[in-house]
Structure 1
Amino acid sequence: MSMEATRRRLTEKQADTVDKLTRAAMEVLSREGFAGLTVRMVAAAAGVGTATAYTYFSSKEHLVAEMFWRRLSATPPPETMETDPTVRVIAVLRQTAMLVADEPALAGAVTSALLGTDPDVAHLRLRIGSEIRKRLLDALGADADPDIVETLESLYSGALVRAGMGYASYAEIADQLEKSARLVLPN
């Protein structure tokens, strides 16, 4: 499945190159960790030139942030017939928190990457944040209190930074998010 890249519209061939690069990045990340990851290594693993890789990704942080964005946007929001907004919000928070739980190298890299100063990362942070906000708003319903949405976003962001720093597993963070959401949301 080809997906539009964050920097520009792509032809099918270019989209295939970006797909190759993001797949190769996961392989290199698993082997080298975020500290050892370079765009040059990823390009070599993908079988493309380094200059070509830099055409699409301005930095390793941009590449990893793109990997997370692709994972998030390819994952549909949790489907539930539940009428209780609290249960729907918890499902959104849990799903998003567990998105990279099975890949510790990617999970830690995402935290580092999203905290970067690269303008392309900043753009992706906005896209990721907007998608999470949309999912929370959909879960809360039409009369969502903006202060509650903002609080839930802060809870989520802080929880994922804690998980990325290794203070807790992603499963523990998902459980903590549930407890926190129950404290924040009206009964």
Structure 2
Amino acid sequence: MSRGDSKTVEATRRRLTGKQADTVEKLTRAAVEVLSREGFAGMTIRMVATAAGVGTATAYTYFSSKEHLVAEIFWRRLRTTDSPASDDADPTVRVVAELRSIALLVADEQELSGAVNSALLGRDPDVEHLRVRIGAEIRKRISRALGEDPDPEVVESLELLYAGALVRAGMGYESYSDIADRLERSALLLLK
């Protein structure tokens, strides 16, 4: 199925018809608005449902928790954001561009970026499912950037570098923009 197929969209919990996909889209848009106003601690599924113009029970049909909803938002952004187009012959340049792009995915939205970290660290089974999908996508992008037959230990090291950098940003030690710069420097050290 193509990303642009509006008739059926795969969601975390099930495949969706066009109408259901529209409802999920309303909920994810409303969640970003509620997050920016209330923060993650203040956000509830009920608030998001109200902002989206749907019933709370309907919202819970699609999202088991606010963590699940926020993780879905990040997954959708990652999935629909193209890898940086880099024809550079140097795999290091391609990897750095990829890591920077992912690190900055929600950097301009302070409440969302903090919520993503909190959500992805949760134990909700639906979040776990998304965490696996997100991790697989990041691994695929790093591996593709490294080129043919990448060393699995290098791929894993870059994944750990990325995850640690984003946790550090999520803890408030540095902004996501600063973390993207540090991530770049660290990746360059690792890939030397």
What TM-score comes out, normalization by structure 2 length?
A: 0.95
Which of 65, 71, 81 aligns to 2:87? It is 81
How far does residue 115 in structure 1 lie from its aligned partner after superposition?
A: 0.3
Residue segments in structure 2 that go unaligned for 5+ positions in a row: none
Give the corresponding residue for 1:170: 176
> Structure 2 counterpart of 1:185, which letter?
L
Q: For residues 93-104 of structure 1, what are the structure 2 equivalents within 5 Å? A: 93-104=99-110
> Structure 2 counterpart of 1:119, which letter?
P
Query: How far apart in 1 are the matches of 2:10 and 2:35?
Result: 22
How far does residue 9 in structure 1 lie from its aligned partner after superposition?
A: 0.3
Query: How far apart in 1 are the matches of 2:181 and 2:52?
Result: 37
> Structure 2 counterpart of 1:11, which letter?
T
| Equivalent residue pairs, number | 186
Matched, 1:24 2:30: yes
Give the corresponding residue for 1:72: 78
How far does residue 171 in structure 1 lie from its aligned partner after superposition?
A: 1.2
Query: How far apart in 2 are the matches of 1:62 and 1:171?
Result: 25
Alignment RMSD: 0.9
Give the corresponding residue for 1:157: 163
Query: How far apart in 2 are the matches of 1:24 and 1:4?
Result: 20
- Ranges of 4+ aligned residues in structure 1 off by more than 2 Å: 1-4
> Structure 1 counterpart of 2:180, which letter?
A
> Structure 2 counterpart of 1:22, which letter?
T
Give the corresponding residue for 2:50: 44
Query: How far apart in 1 are the matches of 2:98 and 2:13?
Result: 27
How far does residue 6 in structure 1 lie from its aligned partner after superposition?
A: 1.2
Which of 29, 39, 44 aligns to 1:33? It is 39
Query: How far apart in 2 are the matches of 1:143 and 1:110?
Result: 31
Matched, 1:183 2:189: yes
Query: How far apart in 1 are the matches of 2:48 and 2:76?
Result: 17
How far does residue 143 in structure 1 lie from its aligned partner after superposition?
A: 2.4
Matched, 1:106 2:112: yes
Query: How far apart in 2 are the matches of 1:40 and 1:47?
Result: 10
Query: How far apart in 1 are the matches of 2:177 and 2:48?
Result: 29
Query: How far apart in 1 are the matches of 2:147 and 2:122?
Result: 33
Query: How far apart in 2 are the matches of 1:5 and 1:40?
Result: 20
Query: How far apart in 2 are the matches of 1:132 and 1:183?
Result: 20
How far does residue 38 in structure 1 lie from its aligned partner after superposition?
A: 0.4
Give the corresponding residue for 1:130: 136
Which of 146, 150, 156 aligns to 1:140? It is 146
Give the corresponding residue for 1:5: 11
What TM-score comes out, normalization by structure 1 length?
A: 0.97
Query: How far apart in 1 are the matches of 2:35 and 2:10?
Result: 22
Q: Percent identity?
A: 74
